[in-house]
Chains A and B, each alone.
Chain A
Amino acid sequence: AQRVTQPEKLLSVFKGAPVELKCNYSYSGSPELFWYVQYSRQRLQLLLRHISRESIKGFTADLNKGETSFHLKKPFAQEEDSAMYYCALKSYTGANSKLTFGKGITLSVRP
């Protein structure tokens, strides 16, 4: 069965500090991974996909199949990065798919 683990519930850093939000997954198939973000009083929204290999708002995430990880990183945190972050894994059963989320981590960036 597929599983997404975000081991920490809260990460608090000062503005300008590096950030790494951890995500580990368990899945027997080829993983498709995503990070979603929920800013205060806003809807959950896609931040980035592993397939895109892009940087969004300064965040990057590299899929490491050996370590089954998809950690989200940003070299210099900004106050506006404060939000709830969810790692998600897409899994398939035949042609059917579902997106499984981790429990999320709250990132707090202090001035």
Chain B
Amino acid sequence: DSGVTQTPKHLITATGQRVTLRCSPRSGDLSVYWYQQSLDQGLQFLIHYYNGEERAKGNILERFSAQQFPDLHSELNLSSLELGDSALYFCASSVGTGPHEKLFFGSGTQLSVL
């Protein structure tokens, strides 16, 4: 157990809907990363938050947004869902900086858009 908690584990919804994925980092970790994993694209970096502030953005669609709250948990909001958004969404928190940084991953949320 990495100490990173993601809920829900599975989510089934329909096209056009909106969902919220939640991530609780390890105690004391200030960084939260979000990744999308699909068979053809592998692990795609979406966004990075550090202590409530957005630090870096990757291939995140405008329909997607995220935030990190004062208690350091993070939420990833996906709206106007399309079939292609079906994927495994991971979050990770980290300790250390620079080349010493180590990410701890959650078990992911499997999103199925029907």
Q: Do A and B bind each other?
A: yes
Q: Which residues of A contact B101 (CB under 8 A)?
A: 90, 97, 99
Q: Which residues of A contact B43 (CB under 8 A)?
A: 44, 86, 101, 103-104
Task: Report the Cα distance A58→B43, complex, angstroms.
Answer: 25
**A81-111 to B contact mask, C-beta < 8 Å, 1/0:** 0000010001001011111111110000000
The majority secondary structure among interface residues of chain B is strand
Interface size on B, residues (CB 8 A): 24
**Interface flag for B105 (CB, 8 Å):** yes
**Interface flag for A59 (CB, 8 Å):** no
Q: Separation in Å of the A19 CB from the closest CB of chain B?
A: 20
Of the candidates A36, A45, A97, A103, the one having the most CB atoms from chain B within 10 angstroms of its own CB is A97
Q: Which residues of A contact B90 (CB under 8 A)?
A: 44
Task: Report the Cα distance A104→B92, complex, angstroms.
Answer: 17
Least CB separation from A97: chain B residue? B56
Least CB separation from B46: chain A residue? A98
Least CB separation from A102: chain B residue? B42
Task: Report the Cα distance A90→B41, complex, angstroms.
Answer: 18
**Interface flag for B102 (CB, 8 Å):** yes
Least CB separation from B44: chain A residue? A101
- Choose the segment among A10-18, A20-28, A46-54, A71-79 that binds chain B (4+ C-beta atoms closer than 8 Å): A46-54
Task: Report the Cα distance A100→B44, complex, angstroms.
Answer: 7
Least CB separation from B100: chain A residue? A51
Q: Could you tell me if A97 and B55 are in contact, using CB atoms closer than 8 angstroms?
A: yes
Q: Could you tell me if A45 and B99 are in contact, using CB atoms closer than 8 angstroms?
A: no
Q: Could you tell me if B107 and A43 are in contact, using CB atoms closer than 8 angstroms?
A: yes
**Interface flag for B8 (CB, 8 Å):** no
**Interface flag for A32 (CB, 8 Å):** yes
List A residues at the B interface (Cβ < 8 Å): 32, 36, 43-46, 49-51, 86, 90, 93, 95-104
- Give 9 A-B contacts (CB < 8 Å), ordered by A residue: A43-B105, A43-B107, A44-B43, A49-B100, A49-B102, A50-B99, A86-B42, A90-B98, A90-B99
Q: State the 8 A-B residue pairs at the shortest beta-carbon distance, nearest first.
A: A103-B42, A51-B99, A101-B43, A98-B56, A32-B99, A44-B105, A96-B55, A96-B56
